[in-house]
């Protein structure tokens, strides 16, 4: 059975994780607001024309990527923010579409240049959201969707408190383990780490606006659409 634990009103306007890495300190938050309001000629009266930010997160293997792809097919007006990562591409993944695949040294250089809205280290690899495309799309009035890990989602919620946040839950941990193993993409030790991390992530689900159990795919997708579009 698929159910929504908590659903706030739809927004109409506006495995192993190391310690979270918070890039956006107060001065950088102020910089973001300056980018939106001054450098681009946006006044207080014009904030209503800005786009909105949507966060989708959940444990590895829960199906958030598949939900994301289907959501984008149904709603091409949404802008999907492609993340950067230092992990190698998996079979069928395309650079610039699934991820920007970059070296560890390049990623660290971009971190030093504050080129990420958020970033974290997960399962020994870096993941991050490039800043410029997201800021540009929001200024242009687009709805931007981020599919990111828990620590990154927390960072975004801190710096963009008006963002709509959705946490995807598995029906159960045994079902999540079954899904991860069926992908045949991870070694046993990686699977164990992912499952251990998944329990910690599930415990954080209440931090987010909406929690959806991905038991029946179509029902879960419809629940996301209701949250975003009413």
Between 7-21, 52-66, 191-205, the lowest mean confidence (pLDDT) is in 7-21
Alpha helix ranges (H) inside the chain: 26-34, 64-74, 104-112, 131-139, 150-159, 173-183, 188-202, 217-229
The answer to whether the beta carbons of residues 152 and 118 sit under 8 Å apart is yes
Sequence-ordered list of residues with C-beta below 8 angstroms from that of 172, at least 6 positions apart, any chain: none
Q: How far apart are CA 70 and CA 151, in angstroms?
A: 24
At 49, is the pLDDT very low, low, confident or very high (cuts 50, 70, 90)? Answer: low
Q: Check residue 33 and give its pLDDT.
A: 40
Q: Across residues 103-113, what is the average pLDDT?
A: 97
CA atoms within 13 A on the CB side of 119: 22
Q: Across residues 13-22, what is the average pLDDT?
A: 38
Cα distances (angstroms) measured from residue 102 to each of 60, 87, 195: 21, 8, 26
Phi, psi of 173 (to 5 degrees): -65, -40
Alpha carbon 211 to its chain centroid, in Å, reads 14
Interval 134-145: pLDDT, tens: 999 999 999 999
Q: Across residues 21-39, what is the average pLDDT?
A: 39
Highest mean pLDDT among 7-21, 43-57, 164-178: 164-178
Nearest to 61 by CA among 211, 165, 173: 173
At 132, is the pLDDT very low, low, confident or very high (cuts 50, 70, 90)? Answer: very high
Q: Across residues 185-197, what is the average pLDDT?
A: 85
Task: Please state the domain count of the chain.
Answer: 1
Between 36-45, 93-102, 178-187, the lowest mean confidence (pLDDT) is in 36-45
**What domain range is 193 assigned to?**
4-229
Phi, psi of 165 (to 5 degrees): -120, 135
Q: How far apart are CA 8 and CA 10, in angstroms?
A: 6
The answer to whether the beta carbons of residues 114 and 23 sit under 8 Å apart is yes
Highest mean pLDDT among 10-19, 35-44, 183-192: 183-192
Q: What percent of the chain has pLDDT over 90?
A: 63
At 182, is the pLDDT very low, low, confident or very high (cuts 50, 70, 90)? Answer: confident
Nearest to 146 by CA among 171, 117, 124, 122: 117
Alpha helix ranges (H) inside 62-130: 64-74, 104-112
CATH number of the domain to which 43 belongs: 3.40.50.300
Q: Across residues 103-109, what is the average pLDDT?
A: 97
Q: How far apart are CA 135 and CA 140, in angstroms?
A: 9
For the chain, what is the largest distance between any 2 Cα atoms, rounded to a whole number of angstroms?
55
Whether the pLDDT of residue 13 is over 70: the answer is no
Q: Check residue 159 and give its pLDDT.
A: 87
Q: Across residues 148-174, what is the average pLDDT?
A: 93
Q: What percent of the chain has pLDDT over 70?
A: 79
Length of the chain: 230
The answer to whether the beta carbons of residues 103 and 85 sit under 8 Å apart is no
Whether the pLDDT of residue 209 is over 50: the answer is yes
Q: Check residue 86 and give its pLDDT.
A: 97
């Amino acid at each position: 059975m698929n159910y929504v634990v908590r659903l706030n009103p739809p927004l109409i306007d506006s495995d192993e994780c190391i310690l979270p890495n918070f890039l956006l300190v107060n001065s950088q938050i102020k910089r973001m607001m300056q980018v939106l309001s001054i450098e681009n000629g946006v006044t207080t009266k014009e904030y209503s024309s800005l786009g909105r930010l949507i966060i989708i997160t959940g444990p590895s293997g829960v199906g958030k990527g598949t939900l994301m792809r289907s959501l984008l097919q149904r709603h091409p007006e949404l802008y999907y923010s492609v993340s950067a990562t230092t992990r190698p591409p998996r079979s069928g993944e395309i650079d610039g579409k699934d991820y920007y695949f970059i070296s560890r040294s390049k990623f660290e250089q971009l971190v030093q240049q504050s080129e990420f809205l958020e970033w974290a280290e997960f399962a020994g690899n870096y993941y991050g959201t490039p800043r410029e495309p997201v800021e540009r799309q929001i200024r242009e009035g687009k709805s931007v969707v981020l599919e990111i890990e828990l620590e990154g989602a927390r960072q975004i919620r801190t710096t963009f408190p008006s963002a709509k946040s959705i946490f995807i839950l598995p029906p159960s941990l045994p079902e999540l383990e079954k899904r991860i193993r069926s992908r045949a993409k991870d070694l046993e030790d990686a699977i164990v780490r992912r499952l251990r991390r998944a329990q910690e992530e599930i415990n954080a689900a209440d931090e987010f606006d909406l929690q959806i159990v991905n038991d029946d795919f179509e029902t879960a997708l419809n629940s996301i659409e209701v949250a975003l579009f009413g």
